[in-house]
Amino acid sequence: MTQNHDNATGVSNTDVVRTATEDDVPGIQALLNHYAAMGNLLPRTKSDIIKQLSHFRVIARDSAIIACGSLENFTPELAEIRSLMVNETIKGAGLGRKIVAELLALAEQREVKRVMALTYVPGFFHKMGFETVDKDIFPEKIWGICVNCYKFNNCDEIAVLKKL
């Protein structure tokens, strides 16, 4: 099958967001670990990815995971976009936006009222309707996940929120 690519962006018309499967776990972990090694996100273990697999959405090309993200609920009303990553060779091609749009649709299906993320690129999220907010409004995140982070006392990520 021939894929049509937009030469300017590298986006293929066959780049479809789908729910992750167990076969995707090594690709998801490789993508996340690449960015974790640069300090851009926390590493996630294989068992953690498997446990959260139904929350992950991926884009694969030639059976390689080129983008991923997950939507994990803290409460029935609050969810977080986590592990949003795009292969660095094709960043800026719109794949992150495709993943976030799918995760927001999933949040609406779950009847979540607020979706948050911690990020180093708030401008990306602002373009998708998120607003910068104070991290302290998410005690569920801080005391559920952040407290275990090596950056807990010196967190430099920016919190963003979208109300649905």
pTM for this entry = 0.84
For residue 101, give its domain range: 18-163
Question: Collapsing DSSP states into helix, strand and coil, what is residue 67?
Answer: strand
User: Considering only CA atoms, which of 18, 41, 19 is closest in space to residue 31?
Assistant: 41
Mean pLDDT, residues 129-140 taken together = 84
**13 domain residue, yes or no:** no
Task: State how many domains the chain has.
Answer: 1
pLDDT in tens, 67-110: 999 999 988 999 999 999 999 889 889 999 999 999 999 999 99
**Cα–Cα distance measured from residue 111 to residue 23, given in angstroms and rounded to the nearest whole number:** 29
Q: CATH number, domain at 32?
A: 3.40.630.30
- Residue 141 is predicted with a pLDDT of 63
CB 87 within 8 A of CB 125: no
**140 domain residue, yes or no:** yes
Antiparallel, parallel or unpaired: β 131-133 and 18-19? unpaired
**7 domain residue, yes or no:** no
**6 domain residue, yes or no:** no
